Amino acid sequence: MGSVMTSLAKMEVKDKELMEHLSRAILTMPPFSPSAMTQVMIACAKVYFRDVRVFLKFAAESKGQQFDPFQIANIFTSMAKFDYNHNDEWNKLLCAQALRKANSFEPLGISSFLNALAKLELFDEELVVVFCSVAKNKMHAFSETNIPMMLSALAKFDWVDDKTLLDGFCARLCEAKQITPHSLTLSLFAFSVLNHYDARTINVMRDMLMRPGVLREVPTAGLSKRHAFLFSSSSLSLSLSLSLSLFLSLSLSLSLFFFFSSSFLISFSIFQKPQPLSF
């Protein structure tokens, strides 16, 4: 069944009636293996077909089974696309296995897994600490695609506790020959949320943004409601600060103008030759 759904997903067959038929068939089948579950979850996410009954079946059948890093990362990525985080038991089972197998995750798996957890608002401090440590050990293997995803996850977690990791990502981004507009957007926004400024990285991104046609491809949406609010609040604060600065500057200019005008008039009246009085 997993292979059938994978094939349909690759062809982008979005036939709701057919998917519902396959979904009903899945519910009557014997327990699925982790590999088959992963195939079905990826396929459903690709054609955006959500059936909670299938998720509940897989959660129940996962007990006692072992999932590899690829399967864990892709199952969570699929659930994130559905915004489905309502099965605590399944989440805990997969996260516990991820924690034990963290060293086996590749950079793509690390960034995808943490990004999915961030989207689902499933924060586990121990898990984040362990995966950040693994990421530092595998920094040389992170690409210009993996890094923005990882930075996006850390920004959503407001994870500002690991400056060494952020510095490492900055160094890797500076080595990149090309970064997509979407990745540029994710990285810049993440650095702003994490309050991490690296002059060399910003200059590299500046040069990339200056290339012809790049700005036309920069996404204008995609921030979470929370971060969109923070972004708009920051913009408002900046506008108010600028307005206050302008007001103070104008007030100071007017004060100086009146001071010097008054001084000039006083000086003029002192040194001016007295006029004779007429009676």
pLDDT, block means (10 residues), the chain with 279 residues: 75 81 90 93 86 91 95 95 85 95 96 94 93 95 93 90 90 87 87 89 84 69 46 42 48 58 52 44
Question: How far apart (Å, rounded) are the C-alpha atoms in residues 233 and 227?
Answer: 9
Identity of the amino acid at 31: P
Q: What is the largest CA-CA distance in the chain?
A: 124
Please check whether residue 116 is in contact with residue 157, taking contact to mean a CB–CB distance below 8 angstroms: no
- pLDDT at residue 218 in the model: 65
- pLDDT at residue 258 in the model: 58
- pLDDT at residue 276 in the model: 47
- pLDDT at residue 132 in the model: 94
- pLDDT at residue 274 in the model: 45
Provide the residue count of the chain.
279
- pLDDT at residue 220 in the model: 54
- pLDDT at residue 250 in the model: 55
Please check whether residue 113 is in contact with residue 130, taking contact to mean a CB–CB distance below 8 angstroms: no
Q: Which residue has tokens 């100086």?
A: 256
Around Cβ 240, how many Cβ atoms within 10 Å? 10
Angle at 230 between CA 220 and CA 165, to 5 degrees: 85
Q: Is the pTM value of this prediction over 0.75?
A: no
Residue 130: φ, ψ to 5°: -65, -45
Segments making up each domain of the chain, as ranges = 1-105
Sequence-distant (6+) residues with CB within 8 A of 177 are none
Around Cβ 90, how many Cβ atoms within 10 Å? 20
- pLDDT at residue 257 in the model: 57
